[in-house]
Chains A and B, each alone.
Chain A
Amino acid sequence: MKYLPLLWRNLMRRKARTLFTFLSVAVAFFLFGLLMAVKNGFEAGIEIAGQDRLLTIHKVSIIQLLPLRYLEQIRAVPGVAAATHSTWFGGVYQDPKNFFPQIAVEPEELLDLYPEYIVPSEQRQRWVATRTGAIVGRKLAERFGWQVGDRIPIQPTFWRPQDGDGDTYEFDLVGLYEGATPDVDETQLFFHHDYLMERVGDMGQVGWYVVSVADPERADEVAQAIDGLFANSPAETKTTTEKAFMQGFAQQVGNTGALLMAIVAVVFFVILLIAGNTMAQAVRERTAEVGVLKTLGFTGPTVLGLVLGESLLLVGGAAGLGLILIWLAVPGLRPLVETFLPVFYVPARSLALGASLAVALGLASGGLPAWLAMRLEIVEALRRR
């Protein structure tokens, strides 16, 4: 601590150089935070997917519908704790650009199976009781300025009403859900499957089943038992854990994680060189001073510590600023990316990773100059005038 003024004064010796290095490091960490927020957005679904939940989809592809009568058969499979069904609606609100998921469900079963969707109990009751009722995520409501009590008109794409009552679905917004964690997608709309069937004429079909298992250890066994039930039928099924499904889905988008990490690697390599160069210059021009310090009785390790302390102060301060700025900026950036990335924030673990990277970067950039300073022969150093 007593060396802090010396470290500070040394950094301030060449203000322009320190400032530029500081800013480039701060920008790098701002970018790091941004990329981590994007990466987390792509992977959030995998992160929160319950290990004890299975998804049963049509074996040929997820767009094929499954018979509703499978539900009771699935519930009877040993090891199944609960099961419900969901159906993709795929409608358009005002403009195709306003994309968000609309899913037809059994309200009570959905909320029981997904405890991470938190709905006030009075809204939940009203939803269950309202055939045309829908609930939406908090962020979706914010995006379109919806209030509970609004009527939301949605144009169908697949599900054309056959009841002669117009082409549009009108949903009564009876409640909002919030995610139990920030990784929960808060941009979906859920409504009654019964209402969908009423409009299109009951076809006895659903999109997929969600199954919760009593014992997550036996999830694979249960999945095989379910698929076995429907083997060699016209609609064979494929059951996987929700996590595996989400992972597969993320893979379909592409290997975004690797791409983002490659960018992060390039950014840090460049910044390491910039900061390392600054420290090397700083130490080189102070060679004689290092000699003086050693003459006064500063040991090699102390001198090493002083140089490392200086680079840690520079890089650490800049990294801190960069991370704080991205943390503050993310809420403002959210509307720009919400359609692609419903979950967009800098996770705490990324901030922690950023902090450790800052320390590593500080040590790496100061390392060589510090080592040279430690090894510097006093007599050599004093001669350099």
Chain B
Amino acid sequence: MRWMRQTAAVTLMNLKSLPRRWGSALVAVVGFAGVVAVFVAVLSIAEGFEQVMGTVGSESTALVLRGGSDSEMSSGLTLEQTRIVKQAPGVRRESGEPVASAELFVIVDVPKRSTGTAANVPLRGVEPGAFLVRPEVEIVEGRRFREGRNEVIVGTAAASQFAGLELGNRLRWGEATWEVVGLFEAGGGVHESEIWTDARVLQPAYRRGATFQSVYTALESPESFQAFKDALTADPRLEVDVTRESEYLAAQSRVLRSLVGVLGNLIAALMAVGATFGALNTMYSAVAARGREIATLRALGFQGGPVVVSVLAESLFLALVGGLVGGALAWAAANGYQTATMNWQTFSQVAFSLRVTPALLVGGLGYALLMGLLGGLFPAVRAARLPVVSGLRQR
């Protein structure tokens, strides 16, 4: 109990003397804030990308591609194959019809709004079943394309990132002209970066004959996936890969996630080393400046423990302030910032917003506190070991 009281008294005294040492304290705070800001901002890229790739991918939606294809881009299925897939066991049926959509996936060059340079925007040809397989797709402006017409609907993220995709615009790709008749949302998922049209219109435009690249099927339940997959792989007329949509999308975000994760953590770790040295500096000079004060306390009978705790508390306090400031800065600068990047597996653009999540902020704060702990520990021990007599003699 006495120990607690001593600790509280010494700590309070320390913190009260902070304003007198504001220059040095500010340097430590800025150091912590810088590390946390960079850490949070860089990882918010991965969070944002993951949000887009992860929100839609449904457990009970299956994706069928030609065997050996790593993405829809390199896949190819005949009309006959897509029919066999749709009739497989495990596919949900509504009014007797399988809920499924055979689709084409190509890219078109559309200029980026920010730079004016051409970007590979995904153009997806779908069947009417697409809207049943993906109930999250919802027209927010205009209407759906009509079957058999050169009409497209555009995801809201694509419309905001790329130029010329406004409602009512006419686009010329190849020999055909397409009209934007609707804008759609897809629950914040990857389809919002896409342009959709009727697969049967896209086939001749891209000289695909009657072929498709993928079949999306709604399953009766997440558990029926295995039966569905087994049936297809056992079918001698097919040579296909079957995955859950959620797994397919997770695999696609892996490259970017690991790149950003490796870079973000490496940069943050290196910066943290630098900032920890800065903090050590601040705390050592704080201890040196208060050497006489500490010695006086020790001479008065205060124990070493409370002195150690008080120095640590000061360092942690600075780290906390720095971490909060850094997190707030990252949140203000990065959160919601819209951008787009290349999804290497499909060679096409994915639009997303940076996301500063509470978990990231907590992580950043933890990082700051760790730096504060390291930065305060050695000076604290030095303070407690300071010989009382020579401390008192200090000018």
Could you tell me which A residues sit within 8 Å of B by CB distance?
Answer: 16-17, 20-21, 23-25, 27-28, 30-31, 34-35, 38, 59-64, 90, 92, 96, 99, 155-158, 167, 234-236, 238, 247-248, 251-255, 259, 263, 266-267, 269-271, 273-274, 276-278, 280-281, 336-337, 339-340
Contact = CB atoms under 8 A, between A and B. Distances in A.
Given A27-B271, A30-B270, 19 more contacts: A20-B277, A60-B109, A61-B107, A62-B107, A92-B70, A155-B68, A157-B69, A234-B174, A235-B174, A251-B112, A251-B119, A252-B112, A252-B117, A252-B342, A267-B271, A267-B274, A274-B277, A277-B23, A278-B281
A186 B298 CA distance: 66
Given A90-B74, A157-B69, A277-B24, A63 B107 contact: yes
A266 B38 contact: yes
B117 A34 contact: no
A93 to B, nearest CB: 12
Contacts of A269: 30, 34
A59 B271 contact: no
Contacts of B74: 90, 157-158
Contact of B277 (A27, A336, A337): A27
8 shortest A-B CB distances, which residue pairs? A157-B74, A248-B117, A270-B34, A24-B274, A24-B277, A20-B277, A27-B274, A274-B278
Given A27-B274, A252-B119, A254-B339, A266 B37 contact: yes
Nearest to B258: A340
B142 to A, nearest CB: 24
B280 A27 contact: no
A96 B69 CA distance: 10
B180 to A, nearest CB: 17
B11 interface: no
Nearest to A30: B270
Interface string B54-87: 0000000000000011100110100000000000
B263 interface: yes
Given A21-B277, A31-B271, A274-B281, A340 B347 contact: no
A280 B277 contact: no
A16 B284 contact: yes
B115 interface: yes
Contact of A24 (B173, B275, B344): B275
The winner among A158, A235, A273 for most chain B CB atoms within 10 A is A273
20 contacts: A17-B284, A24-B275, A27-B274, A34-B270, A35-B267, A61-B109, A63-B106, A64-B206, A157-B69, A248-B118, A252-B349, A253-B342, A254-B341, A267-B38, A270-B30, A270-B271, A271-B274, A274-B278, A277-B278, A340-B259
Name B's interface SS: helix
Contacts of B285: 17, 281
Contact of A251 (B115, B266, B271, B344): B115
B34 A267 contact: yes
A96 B70 contact: yes
B61 to A, nearest CB: 22
B46 interface: no
Contacts of A336: 262
Given A63-B106, A252-B349, A277-B24, A263 B267 contact: yes
Contacts of A167: 68
Contact of B275 (A60, A61, A259, A270): A270
Contacts, number: 154
The winner among A63, A238, A253 for most chain B CB atoms within 10 A is A63
A24 B278 contact: yes
A339 B255 CA distance: 10
A70 to B, nearest CB: 16
A274 B174 contact: no
A27 B268 CA distance: 11
A64 B263 CA distance: 34
Contacts of A99: 344
Nearest to B275: A270
A24 B275 CA distance: 7
B108 interface: yes
Contacts of A278: 281
Interface of B: 23-24, 26-27, 30-31, 34-35, 37-38, 42, 68-70, 73-74, 76, 106-109, 112, 114-115, 117-120, 173-175, 206, 255, 259, 262-263, 266-267, 270-271, 273-275, 277-278, 280-282, 284-285, 339-342, 344, 347, 349
Contacts of A340: 255, 259
A10 B70 CA distance: 63
Contacts of B341: 252-254
Nearest to B276: A24
B273 A60 contact: no
A23 B34 contact: no
A259 B74 CA distance: 32
Given A251-B115, A280-B23, A59 B174 contact: yes
Contact of A236 (B112, B174, B275): B174
B254 to A, nearest CB: 9
Contacts of A263: 38, 42, 267
Nearest to B175: A234
A255 B339 contact: yes
Contacts of A339: 255
A92 B23 CA distance: 58
Contact of B281 (A21, A60, A270): A21
Contact of A157 (B27, B70, B284): B70
Nearest to A157: B74
A90 B109 CA distance: 20
Contacts of A17: 281, 284-285
A378 to B, nearest CB: 21
A38 B263 contact: yes
A27 B24 CA distance: 20
B108 A270 contact: no
B282 to A, nearest CB: 8
Nearest to B74: A157
Contact of B120 (A28, A62, A235): A62
The winner among B68, B114, B262 for most chain A CB atoms within 10 A is B68
A8 B341 CA distance: 50
A252 B277 contact: no
Nearest to B206: A64
Contacts of B266: 34
B23 A266 contact: no
A270 B31 contact: yes
B127 to A, nearest CB: 22
Given A21-B277, A96-B70, A270-B34, A27 B42 contact: no
A204 to B, nearest CB: 13
A278 B278 CA distance: 9
Contacts of B69: 157
Nearest to B207: A234
Contact of A270 (B174, B263, B278): B278
A173 B106 CA distance: 33
A30 B375 CA distance: 21
Contacts of B263: 38
